[in-house]
A and B are shown apart, each in its own frame.
Chain A
Amino acid sequence: MKTLNFRVILFVLALIFGVVFSIPSLMQSENGKKITLGLDLQGGLHMLLGIKSEVAIESRIKSIAASVKYLFDEEEIIFDELRMQENEKVTFELLDNDDVAKVTQILKEEIPGTVLSQNGLKFTLKMTAKEVERTKQNAISQAVDTIRTRLDSFGLAEPTVAKQGSDKILVEVPGIKTQEDEQRIRELIARAAHLQLMAVDEDRIARVATMSSAEAKSFGDAILTDVNTPQKYLLHAIPVLDGSMLTDAKVGFDKNNQPVINFTLNGQGSKIFGDFTGKYVGKRMAVVLDNEVYSAPVINERIGGGRVQISGSFKLSEAHDLAIALRSGALLAPVYVMEKRSVGPSLGADNIKASMLALALGFVLVVLFMILYYGAAGVVANVALVGNLFLILAVMSLFGATLTLPGMAGIVLTVGMAVDANVIINERIRELLHEGKSVAKSIEEGYNKAFTAILDANVTTLIAAVVLWAYGTGPLKGFALTMGIGILASMLTAIVGTHGIYQWLLPKIDKKKLSFWFGIKTEGKK
């Protein structure tokens, strides 16, 4: 009697491997690597964000223009017509031809990433293509970091924030309970969080109601509106200081027990703030966030220590989110939605239920059919099928793969297709038995002859799966992944595994009971 052979041992090992590594996923235990459920199954928010990088470039141009002004003033160079232009350019005119050499020298040294061109005494300072690209990339990576920091501080389980392609940001947040929470999270992500402390133009503010913004601009002012009321403020356009000098922001309460945000400035900020408040006692200073005035208190005395408060009749949740946004810093460029998919937790649960039902039913149908049609050979094929399922789960768990709804469909489909190999083999064995070959010979030859067909068929399906995986986005990837793993696993379970089981069972197979063993009515002739 033949004892255990290497194929059975291999199959049993694979089965043990499959069961052991799929346990953490099946039991949803805390420890061990396991499959994560996709957002369509557990509910959550998936977003692909674009970034308006032109805004980052515009602000870079603005700061280049500011540097030019500062440098020329410092060097006492007389200039005129300093303008920001389209296409990443700053233009200006010199009045004195003798300054040309000096200007060329200074700009080259002090403002890297730009090229200067000259037409008479008119000059154009243009950002290089490389500098434009660097600014764009910088804006994206800064946005990725900022959004990640914000989501992390919001206290959600395992949000994903990653750069996708060259100019997109992928955000995935699982486990959101309600639509209201989701909206809050989206608003937190989108918040520019651009904080400015601005001096009120006390000389002209009386006329603000009738002033046009062009007129305000001519005074070097800007008109901004109150966040809660339609009241307008006239403020000096160049801020006293901005959010980049902020070190911390926390939610606190004022004396009326209203939520406020207390923030702390860094050393430089505290000094500027202290000097400013010392100089302008009796005047008003506005706290401006994303171009809306939150408060404009009168300065009573010099404020040292760099502690400032924002009050704006917040709700507590609002204050909490705002503090997070302030701590994480401002977004260099605004982000916008290119794609958004959000699934509520109850729909996710429904999706799991439906796909599990389909999987179970499909599985039962296939299993029953195989037994009915092939007898014991069908049972052998079913054992391989179960092994296949466990292997898929185990491999996915080990890779920490994500199981999505299309992924479930992929598994269901694999069940249908994995028995294919066994159908091919069993049909071959039956043919050989009909030809009157012995059981042992029929099995061996059957496996040999079936192998090339199964291999070629599986490789071609695998090609489709790999391409789908490489080119697909989210849901398609999940489908391709489970199918690909399923096909590979079936090569082990359906070919090697069942072959081993037959070799092991061979001594027990009775030639007179072929209808029990292989479901056929012929008698195996010698």
Chain B
Amino acid sequence: MEIFKYKAPLSLMSKSKRFGMISITLLVLSFGLIFVKGFNYGLDFAGGTLVQVHYENKAPISKVREAISQKKEYASATVTYFGNENEIIIRTKTSSQSLGKDMGDSMRDLLKGTGEFEVRRVDIVGAKVGSELREKGLMAMFLSILGILIYVSLRFEWRFAIASVMALMHDVTIAMGAVVLFNIEVNLDTLAALLTILGYSLNDTIIVFDRIREGIRTIKEPNLGAIIDESVTQTLSRTTLTSLTTFFVVLTLYLFGGEIIRGFSFTLLVGVVVGTYSSIFVASPILMMLGFSVSDYRLKEAEKAKRSKEKERMRAMYENGTM
């Protein structure tokens, strides 16, 4: 089977302004959401207590609320269904430091008489730990980007590095915007998803850039736009296919992986879509905007080749004793 058969290069660069507008709109919306509405920090980053209770039958949520409100300290607790109607989650923003009786233990007492139930999960995160985790997360994000910048600069050229990092920031920002928009709780796994998007989006971009790097050498064409068009078109099939397989997998994870990793898989779903879009439509125009010059690059490559040839010649001469 073949879906994308290469015939002629698509003229993408001539439309880059239009895609640029789409991206900028999405970015502005995302930033607006992030700064105005803000993240819905979950337990991991905000601290607090979470108790998951499983009922044999449908959970009597109003009875549960009533039972919990008997105790003043749980007055602000929220009770919601989790995944299905037998499962509920009770949350408070407070966390106790006591090792003895904690919220899970008191729930066992309070909920007596509301039906056959089992406390299946009790998570307590102190405020201090939460802020530490947040700092570490940001640090991880920053270090990954730095490492990637350095590697791509070494393997390609600094403009490629800047362009790829801008593209992946584009993806991560839009994914974060979606997280805020759909009110997904931000926990450690959401962070893992964002870091995965970082790696994934870059993966896609690099494959396109690799083709452009090759195109600069092989395509007899001084115009970068034309080289990009041809390279992107040639990799279009691969980019879409890989995104499809990854998308399938993430979708099954989202649908069947269980409620606990839903935030993770949702973030990834958005990331896969945006990452694919950006590696086709965003990364390469940035490369053009940064003023990458094909002739300069070729000159430099030629010089490099010349220099290594010269070195070889000298060595040969030296080894033959002619020097």
Contact = CB atoms under 8 A, between A and B. Distances in A.
A468 B257 contact: no
A409 interface: yes
A187 B253 contact: no
Interface in A9-45: 40
Contact of B249 (A50, A340, A362, A373): A362
B257 A355 contact: yes
Contact of B151 (A336, A374, A463): A463
Interface string A413-431: 1011101100110010011
Nearest to A479: B192
A370 B261 CA distance: 26
Given A336-B97, A431-B6, A464-B195, A362 B253 contact: yes
A456 interface: yes
A519 B3 CA distance: 11
B79 to A, nearest CB: 18
Contact of B97 (A337, A343, A423): A337
Contact of A456 (B206, B234, B248): B206
Nearest to A474: B188
A198 to B, nearest CB: 24
B245 A423 contact: yes
Most chain B CB atoms below 10 A, which of A460, A480, A519: A460
Interface string B188-209: 1101100110111011101100
A471 B148 contact: no
A50 B97 CA distance: 9
A416 B245 contact: yes
Contact of A412 (B104, B140, B253): B253
B121 interface: yes
A471 B257 contact: no
Given A337-B96, A465-B199, A423 B152 contact: no
A464 B246 contact: no
A472 B192 contact: yes
B199 A464 contact: yes
Interface stretch (B25-33, B235-243, B305-313): B235-243
B128 A338 contact: yes
Contacts of B188: 472-473, 475-476
Contact of A187 (B54, B100, B125): B100
Contacts of B204: 457
B275 to A, nearest CB: 12
Interface in B203-255: 203-204, 206-207, 210-211, 214, 234-235, 237-238, 241-242, 244-250, 252-253, 255
Q: Which of B1, B98, B188 has the most CB of A within 10 A?
A: B1
A336 B136 contact: no
**Contact size range, A:** 35 or more
A338 B268 CA distance: 30
A396 B280 CA distance: 36
Contacts of A405: 260-261
B206 A460 contact: yes
Contacts of B147: 463-464, 466-467
B129 A369 contact: no
Interface string B115-159: 000111111111011000100110110011001100110010000
Nearest to A464: B199
B129 A179 contact: no
Interface stretch (A89-97, A132-140, A152-160, A345-353): A345-353
A420 B203 contact: yes
- List 10 A-B pairs, minimum CB-CB distance, nearest first: A354-B258, A190-B99, A416-B249, A464-B199, A362-B249, A416-B246, A471-B140, A336-B97, A453-B210, A461-B199
14 contacts: A179-B122, A183-B101, A337-B97, A342-B122, A346-B118, A354-B256, A357-B256, A372-B1, A373-B241, A413-B196, A452-B210, A457-B203, A461-B199, A464-B198
Given A183-B100, A346-B54, 9 more contacts: A48-B129, A337-B124, A355-B258, A361-B256, A372-B1, A409-B253, A413-B249, A420-B203, A460-B202
